[in-house]
Amino acid sequence: MIYLDNAATSWPKPECVIEAITRFLHDVGASPGRSGHRLANEAERIRLDAREALGELLGVSNPLRIVFTSNATTALNIAIQGLLPPGSHVVTSGIEHNAAMRPLRMLEQRGVSISVAPCGGDATMHASALNDLIRPETHLIVANHASNVSGTLLPIRQIGELASARGIPLLVDAAQTAGCAPINLTADHIDILAFTGHKGLLGPTGTGGLAFREDFDIARLPPLICGGTGSRSEDQVQPDFLPDRYEGGTSNILGLAGLAASVRYVLERGVETIRMHEARLTGRLIDGLARVPRVAIVGPCDPAKQTGIVSFVIDGMPCSEAALVLDEQFDIMCRPGLHCAPLAHRSLGTLPDGTVRLAPGPFTTEREIDQTISAVAKLAEIES
């Protein structure tokens, strides 16, 4: 089987992730932040391991500025809903995922105004496109680091420099890039970053979170969810310090045990090494598919400008049909459709039909890419 759906969730996971989860279930089991016995303390040590690894990966020196949520969507909702009061204005890009767009559109109903910066037909965008939309009442810039449809990377450092110069907080959706593209909150001028654990970070589903740059004042951001934290138990008000401010409720510590191991794996293998591996496969896939008649690739078609995603359409064939044949006849797993990102598809001109998305990962081989190119060529031939 060839698994090319790493942009949805990465698979397989490194062996150390399976071992860490198994070890947790066998030997630890307890809930961190509660109780104070040695198993609870060990669980908290594991959670700190995960925070430290992520801090190292993202350029955040205080590990407690890494906050865990159940996914990037929850993380984005905390930041978006907390920073945009009625009457405020937000600037965002034309490649956003619904994880950002839906909370924004909900707030629009409550009097928040939204400006969407236009992208090119390959979903590329200059930072200046955002700059032109900033108003005096702009409270936030929301930018997707990379499109989950075409893989197109936004110039995040330039956007960060712009946000910093204009004094507006920048929230980055790194669901597609954390673990497979370099990110440094300080150097990139990112105030808040939302990440997910189960894609490029190679961890389990149900893990994600927020990373706060050292100088971002969390007093500006109220929590979205309040509840038990194990701290200040006599107090009926949510703690005001990190990470407890945003971590009400029992933690997914089993998932975080896996995430601690997976991020350590990513750090040891190296983000640059993973990026180069995926770029090589992406380039190979683009070159191969470009030679197949009736196939049109969307996006920049340049591995330097995109993540490990190649999205395409076959002239005259619905993408759902193509994906079904790839699964059943060629044993290739991919994702067809709109990928929860209608805005990005509008930028790419692929509404309403969508695309077939191939997303290699750190464990994909060149041989698998070549087999996939042959399969798509046969597919395009069969149906013509």
Partner 1 sequence: MNTVAIILVYSTSHAIQAERVLKKAGLAAKLIPTPRQLSSDCGSAIRIDAADQEASTAALERAGVPIDRLVAIGA
Q: Footprint of partner 1 on this chain (CB under 8 A)? A: 32-37, 40-41, 44-45, 47-48, 51, 61-64, 229-234, 239, 241, 243-244
Least gap, CB of 43 to partner 1 (angstroms): 9
Contact 77, 103 (CB under 8 A): yes
Contact 379, 325 (CB under 8 A): yes
Please give the Cα distance from 340 to 5 (Å, whole number). Answer: 14
Least gap, CB of 171 to partner 1 (angstroms): 23
Please give the Cα distance from 242 to 210 (Å, whole number). Answer: 11
What stretch of H or E contains 21? helix 15-23
Least gap, CB of 51 to partner 1 (angstroms): 8
Least gap, CB of 44 to partner 1 (angstroms): 4
Least gap, CB of 32 to partner 1 (angstroms): 7
**Mapped to the 3 state alphabet, what secondary structure does 116-148 carry?**
EECCCCCCCCCHHHHHCCCCCCEEEEEEECECC
Q: Nearer Cβ to partner 1, position 63 or 361?
A: 63
Least gap, CB of 39 to partner 1 (angstroms): 12
Q: Is 375 helix (H, G, I), strand (E, B) or coil?
A: helix
What stretch of H or E contains 209? strand 208-212
210: β partners:
67, 194
Least gap, CB of 66 to partner 1 (angstroms): 10
Q: Nearer Cβ to partner 1, position 208 or 239?
A: 239
**Would you tell me how many other CB atoms lie within 10 Å of the CB of residue 284?**
18
Q: Nearer Cβ to partner 1, position 240 or 272?
A: 240
Residues 159, 70, 346, 287, Cα dihedral to 10°: 80
Least gap, CB of 62 to partner 1 (angstroms): 5
Q: Nearer Cβ to partner 1, position 230 or 362?
A: 230
HSE of 381 in the Cβ direction (CA atoms, 13 Å)? 9
Q: Nearer Cβ to partner 1, position 103 or 239?
A: 239
Q: Nearer Cβ to partner 1, position 231 or 320?
A: 231
What are the C-alpha distances in Å from 10 to residues 18, 264, 298, 317?
14, 16, 22, 27
Least gap, CB of 242 to partner 1 (angstroms): 8
Sheet containing 138-144, strands listed edge to edge, beginning at the edge strand earlier in sequence: 66-69, 208-212, 192-196, 170-173, 138-144, 89-93, 113-117
Q: Nearer Cβ to partner 1, position 109 or 233?
A: 233
Task: Provide the 8-state DSSP code for 14.
Answer: P
Least gap, CB of 193 to partner 1 (angstroms): 19
Q: Nearer Cβ to partner 1, position 35 or 371?
A: 35
Q: What are phi and psi of 297, to 5 degrees?
A: -90, 135
Scanning the structure block, which residue is given the tokens 């978006």? Answer: 80
What are the C-alpha distances in Å from 63 to residues 12, 165, 361?
27, 27, 27
Q: Nearer Cβ to partner 1, position 63 or 94?
A: 63
Q: Nearer Cβ to partner 1, position 11 or 241?
A: 241
Contact 228, 210 (CB under 8 A): no
